[in-house]
């Protein structure tokens, strides 16, 4: 690995037809990027899409490589990745910046023999949208631990419903989700303490949300994502005035007590644009999750695979058995094995 990663950051000469080995960084349309090329480059390229980054999270300059980058370099693949022009729910920037970087690589250096795309966590949603939007750009795609649910549904089911449910069963912890003066974040510890004080209600929530009581503090992350999204989109993106909730104990009492929100039309439209999946894919796609993921629970794992099947694209899909516990907790060997599966599927098509 040392021979692959111990390289000098530099700029390729504009006339180069084929990139030499190295790690190269720059900026495209206000988005940092990084391109790594191994000494034994096989002529193929992996576009890599990272997960959710909270607004204000530290960003290194020049851009650092994602943890999975060495896996692909050791196999002889070049890797290109964008930092994206924004943080938070940067789905639109992620898709545009990654496609811009791919075109930059082709236009400035060389057309790869094959181009693959890989994403993890929120990057999974962005990969799915990318192969739907640019089907002829890629030979295949891989998604691990991905939140591959259309944004409107993800916000409604994955963010707002759990927050509302916690607030209805254990009041006084979750702020008003649409109030302009609501804080941008809440502390994990505040939720953890409330869970300890209300074990019965916490057990109901965990069972309904396919989590564990000790993982419910992850709702603090959901809350932060929602508040950032509201700021980006211009208001509350979910309308639950007529929603009927089930599975939270006394459903009649729950539906009487749960907070109701009227969505902002602009925010609803923004959520649909960024992004709604169709399930129509035309390249091999390999997907894998961890067996237990507190950030992206198993209730979301089958959503995109089922959507792909309904769209008539099942022949392109491979879902690997889940492994390990935690969010995006894969070993290099597991990531490598999943990518090998993609390569076999791509060569067979």
Going by C-alpha positions, the residue among 100, 113, 224 that lies closest to residue 174 is 224
The β-bridge partners of 182 are none
Its pTM surpasses 0.85: yes
CA 94 – CA 83 distance, rounded (Å) = 8
Phi/psi region, residue 88 (left: phi>0; alpha: psi -120 to 50; beta: rest), is: left
Q: What pLDDT is recorded for position 79?
A: 98
With residue 195 as reference, give the H or E element that holds it: helix 188-197
CA 162 – CA 13 distance, rounded (Å) = 52
Low-confidence ranges of the chain (pLDDT < 70): 1-17
- Within a 10 A sphere around the Cβ of 216, how many other Cβ atoms? 22
pLDDT in tens, 299-334: 999 999 999 999 999 999 999 999 999 999 999 999
Q: What pLDDT is recorded for position 17?
A: 62
Q: Where in the chain is the domain with CATH 3.40.50.1820?
A: 22-148+277-347
Going by C-alpha positions, the residue among 164, 187, 157 that lies closest to residue 301 is 157
Topology annotation, domain 22-148+277-347: Rossmann fold (3.40.50)
- Whole-number Cα distances in Å, 302 to 161, 246, 280, 298, 299: 19, 20, 16, 8, 7
- DSSP string computed for 57-109: ----SSPPPPTTHHHHHHTT-EEEEE--SS-SS-HHHHHHHHHHHHHHHHHHT
pLDDT in tens, 113-149: 999 999 999 999 999 999 999 999 999 999 999 999 9
The β-bridge partners of 34 are 25, 81
Query: Would you call 324 helix, strand, or coil by DSSP?
Result: coil
CB burial readout 130-164, b (16+ within 10 A) else e = bbbebeebbbbbbbbbbbbbbbbebbbbbbbbbbb
Q: What pLDDT is recorded for position 323?
A: 97
Q: Are 101 and 30 in contact (CB under 8 A)?
A: no
């Amino acid at each position: 690995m040392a021979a692959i990663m111990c390289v000098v950051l530099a700029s390729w000469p504009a006339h180069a037809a084929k990139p030499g080995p190295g790690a190269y960084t720059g900026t495209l349309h206000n988005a940092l990027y990084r391109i790594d090329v191994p000494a034994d480059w096989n002529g193929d390229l992996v576009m890599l899409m990272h997960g959710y980054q909270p607004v204000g999270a530290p960003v290194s300059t020049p851009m650092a490589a994602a943890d999975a980058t060495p896996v692909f370099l050791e196999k002889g693949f070049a890797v290109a990745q964008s930092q994206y022009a924004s943080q938070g729910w940067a789905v639109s920037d992620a898709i545009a910046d990654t496609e811009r970087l791919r075109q930059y690589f082709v236009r400035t250096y060389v057309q790869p023999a094959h181009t693959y795309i890989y994403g993890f966590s929120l990057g999974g949603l962005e990969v799915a949208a990318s192969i739907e939007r640019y089907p002829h750009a890629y030979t295949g795609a891989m998604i691990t631990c991905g939140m591959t649910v259309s944004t409107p549904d993800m916000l409604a089911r994955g963010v707002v419903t759990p927050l509302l449910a916690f607030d209805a069963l254990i009041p006084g912890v979750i702020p008003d989700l649409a109030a302009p003066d609501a804080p941008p974040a809440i502390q994990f510890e505040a939720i953890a303490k409330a869970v300890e004080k209300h074990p019965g209600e916490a057990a109901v929530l965990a069972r309904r949300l396919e989590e564990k009581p000790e993982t419910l503090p992850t709702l603090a992350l959901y809350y932060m994502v929602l508040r950032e999204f509201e700021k980006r989109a211009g208001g509350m993106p979910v309308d639950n005035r007529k929603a009927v909730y089930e599975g939270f104990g006394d459903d009649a009492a729950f539906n009487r007590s749960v907070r109701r929100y009227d969505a902002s039309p602009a925010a609803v439209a923004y959520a649909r644009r960024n992004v709604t999946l169709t399930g129509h894919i035309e390249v091999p796609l390999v997907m894998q999750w961890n067996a237990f993921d507190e950030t992206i629970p198993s209730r979301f794992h089958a959503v995109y695979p089922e959507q792909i099947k309904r769209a008539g694209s099942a022949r392109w899909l491979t879902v690997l058995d889940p492994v390990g516990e935690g969010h995006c907790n894969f070993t290099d060997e597991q990531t490598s094995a999943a990518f090998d599966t993609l390569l076999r599927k791509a060569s067979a098509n």
